């Protein structure tokens, strides 16, 4: 293990959800819990078995650490391990604090040209990498991203990076769609009160065809329905956003058209990929950060996120560091 002095921690929708509701599905907050799982920091001390990190190293933290070498770890899908430790998922504490201890294998050294802030953004970026891989985005793909929050935006970034020829994105908010344009979306649709079928036909008319791939990032029932209707026959719908446990969807429509519906759970094996993309400047996550607060103003930061202001709110945990 290594002891880290924390630097940057992003606030996620799940952090807000635990703070406001005390649970997400079967994960229930029973005792006080430290939030935060999008993080970077500096190594202060290393355990006796640690050879590849030393004090002073700047690292990005992967929050999910398997506790045992089970069948999922053996097949490289450790994110599905039922006993995995995960920052800020009850009962595991997160890393929104000054000092934090973590498994060395899940701390990844940041190159000099990758900032702490970019290091903290690797966590949401990883969701985009994992989702687009599961979706099979490739050269020339036409992609529909549903929802333009932070996760919708990283999916736009990654889909374009992986060779998507055209990406269309939907949201209720004009300002969020403007941000999607900034990060590379080709078309935006501001949804007002259209039916799911109407949304699907708007997607088709903008792309000039039905997309092979839809990435649903809201979890809203109507959006999942639109996702099924929009996806080309033989295509893939990836469900990233999580809403109610039970949703009514046109499953027969999907089945008869051979639309594959895939889920994702977090990510695995994405940190090295993300670091390589950031270091080579092939992907730019900097526009995602719209607000910054010191740790002392954490409540204000959480309130800002809860109101849906900006995109990504970042907390600075190291009072001695005055870098941007």
Surface-to-core class of residue 208, CB atoms within 10 Å of its CB (0-12 exposed, 13-18 middle, 19+ buried): exposed
Q: Is the pLDDT of residue 320 over 80?
A: no
What distance in Å separates the CA atoms of residue 37 and residue 208, rounded to the nearest whole number?
Answer: 39
The reported pLDDT for the residue numbered 321 is 73
What distance in Å separates the CA atoms of residue 185 and residue 286, rounded to the nearest whole number?
Answer: 16
Residues 113-157: tens digit of each pLDDT: 999 999 999 999 999 999 999 999 999 999 999 999 999 999 999
The structural domains of the chain, ordered by start, are 2-109+285-316 (3.90.180.10), 129-263 (3.40.50.720)
Q: How far is CA 243 from the centre of its chain?
A: 16
Residues 251-306: tens digit of each pLDDT: 999 999 999 999 999 999 999 999 999 999 999 999 999 999 999 999 999 999 99
In 3-state terms, what secondary structure has residue 316? strand
The reported pLDDT for the residue numbered 324 is 56
User: What are φ and ψ of residue 16, in 5° steps?
Assistant: -60, -40
Q: What is the pTM of this model?
A: 0.96
Question: Other C-beta atoms within 10 Å of 90: how many?
Answer: 17
The reported pLDDT for the residue numbered 322 is 66
What distance in Å separates the CA atoms of residue 239 and residue 195, rounded to the nearest whole number?
Answer: 19
Residues 18-71: tens digit of each pLDDT: 999 999 989 999 999 999 999 999 999 999 999 999 999 999 999 999 999 999
């Amino acid at each position: 293990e290594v002891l880290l002095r924390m630097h940057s921690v992003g606030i996620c929708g799940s952090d807000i959800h635990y703070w406001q509701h005390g649970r997400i599905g079967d994960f229930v907050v029973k005792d006080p819990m430290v939030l935060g799982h999008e993080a970077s920091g500096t190594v202060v001390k290393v355990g006796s078995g640690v050879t590849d990190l030393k004090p002073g190293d700047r690292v990005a933290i992967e929050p999910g650490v398997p506790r045992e070498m089970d069948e999922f770890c053996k097949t490289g899908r450790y994110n599905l391990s039922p006993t995995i430790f995960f920052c800020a998922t009850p009962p595991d504490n997160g890393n929104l604090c000054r000092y934090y201890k973590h498994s060395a294998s899940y701390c990844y050294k940041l190159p000099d040209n990758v900032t702490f802030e970019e290091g903290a953004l690797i966590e949401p970026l990883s969701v985009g990498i994992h989702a687009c891989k599961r979706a099979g985005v490739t050269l020339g793909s036409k992609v529909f991203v549903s929802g333009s929050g932070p996760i919708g935006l990283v999916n736009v970034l990654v889909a374009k990076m992986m060779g998507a020829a055209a990406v269309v994105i939907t949201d209720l908010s004009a300002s969020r769609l403007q941000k999607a344009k900034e990060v590379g979306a080709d078309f935006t649709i501001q949804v007002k009160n259209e039916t799911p079928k109407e949304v699907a036909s708007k997607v088709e008319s903008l792309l000039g065809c039905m997309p092979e791939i839809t990435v649903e990032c809201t979890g809203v029932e109507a959006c999942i329905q639109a996702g099924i209707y929009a996806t080309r026959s033989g295509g893939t719908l990836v469900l990233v956003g999580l809403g109610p446990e039970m949703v009514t969807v046109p499953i027969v429509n999907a089945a008869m058209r051979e639309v594959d519906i895939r889920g994702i759970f977090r990510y695995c094996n994405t940190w090295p990929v993300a670091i390589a993309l950031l270091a080579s400047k092939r992907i730019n996550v900097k526009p995602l950060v719209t607000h910054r607060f010191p740790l002392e103003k954490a409540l204000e930061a959480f309130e800002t996120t809860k109101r849906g202001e900006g995109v990504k709110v970042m907390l600075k945990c190291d009072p001695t560091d005055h870098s941007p």
